Structure 1
């Protein structure tokens, strides 16, 4: 009961914070009184409502959503697999290190421009999202595996416990918080990088194209409405994905 009350209080505090932010936004829009520079939340809500009635809106959302999340999932899978392999073979970790460091450090704009030369616009958001997610997952999972109790690993070595069982019963519980944290960070970054790639590459039928058009036509209401769509999509998928991961970990631990 106490836990439920705490959750309810937390939701109420967040709702109050959102309400305060909206009121501040509305006050700023009214004080500025320049729709070209800052539209009010009411105007954004009206524009978003009209977008929801357009058939092209849902096709645009689906286009960007599928590509960005495909890049995220590919980066998650590749990063986790490479981290597991690097944890087992130290030579592989040394060989991978310069590539992961470069991907983590090079500005995303550089990758976007290179990717436009290599891939064209249609696959751009998939590749950029993949690149941004890969090092985050890799370094977090590798750190989690390295922090596993050495005595337990030595015992597993003495008793010749198969690698698969070691992964499930020794590494997985240790890696879990690192992987969840990595996914929480990577999900947001994948959307930021993926949409940025679309704005630069302007693939047909993407959210990035709609943002670019809003800039060209100085349509601030459209810009804010599509930005709100991006925030909502990112937050919703993050909640669902992390919930699914936690359920999956719970099943593995109870099996």
Structure 2
């Protein structure tokens, strides 16, 4: 019975995907203009044509580096500074205005401002970091503040070392919030990176290929590049979830030290 559940879930997901593809195909047939709405087959054909060019992989690689770079730096710093902000009220008061300001700024404003100061190729990475950092920071601070007070009181009574308190009490409490922040940062990172690539004219990149497809009215290629973005984003999300799931299993099997 348990073996059938994953299989049934896969079948349902495939069925849902087929439904939306058929709806897309029907809409394309009704519009009857590839310039306005290319069919799924035309879009897939565009991906195959793009994949025959080495520049296609160079563009994807460059965008992936910017996404991973921005997300990794934002999550790493967000974890460290968020933990410090949750534990130290004075540090939180210092950092909070910066985080609140970044959160309230429109993404376009951040991209334009950063583009004035650094090279266009680095703009997407820096902007992705700035936009994703507040997500991690906020989640980690919240995780620290929701730590079980009874465990902290017990640790205080038994004079447990502060390093052990952080490692064995705060870190496990923060983990679910950190995972949530990571998944949000990955999804947000893709959108921000590609947008920044377009506005900053960053080459090579997926964003600029989207822009060129729009300028030259190559709607089929515009859809093809969009499909590539969706596939890459979903693949990274699934791989990340798989790695996190495996780590949790390994931790569950480890004996308590």
Q: TM-score range by the shorter chain?
A: over 0.9
The yes-or-no answer on 1:23 pairing with 2:22 is: yes
Shift of 1:28: 0.4
Q: 71-80 or 177-186: which moved more? A: 177-186
Alignment partners' CA distance in 1, 2:64 and 2:159: 45
Equivalence for 1:41: 40
Alignment partners' CA distance in 2, 1:10 and 1:167: 39
Runs of 4+ in 1 over 6 A off after TM superposition: none
The yes-or-no answer on 1:196 pairing with 2:195 is: yes
How many residue pairs get aligned? The number is 254
Alignment partners' CA distance in 1, 2:161 and 2:248: 20
The yes-or-no answer on 1:240 pairing with 2:210 is: no
The yes-or-no answer on 1:78 pairing with 2:87 is: no
Alignment partners' CA distance in 2, 1:146 and 1:249: 23
Compared CA separation, residues 249 and 95, structure 1 to 2 (3 A): farther
Equivalence for 1:210: 209
Alignment partners' CA distance in 1, 2:31 and 2:117: 44
Alignment partners' CA distance in 2, 1:204 and 1:120: 11
**Mapping for residues 179-194 of structure 1, pairs under 5 Å:** 179-194=178-193
Does the CA contact (< 8 Å) of 1:202 and 1:212 recur in 2? no
Shift of 1:249: 4.2
- RMSD value over aligned CA atoms? 1.4
Equivalence for 2:121: 122
The yes-or-no answer on 1:173 pairing with 2:176 is: no
Alignment partners' CA distance in 1, 2:186 and 2:229: 12
Shift of 1:137: 0.8
Alignment partners' CA distance in 2, 1:205 and 1:173: 40
Alignment partners' CA distance in 2, 1:82 and 1:242: 24
| Alignment TM-score, normalising by the size of structure 2 | 0.94
Alignment partners' CA distance in 1, 2:207 and 2:201: 6
Does the CA contact (< 8 Å) of 1:52 and 1:58 recur in 2? yes
Q: What residue ranges of structure 2 are gaps of 5+ in the alignment? A: none
Compared CA separation, residues 249 and 119, structure 1 to 2 (3 A): farther
Shift of 1:243: 2.3
Q: 161-170 or 150-159: which moved more? A: 161-170
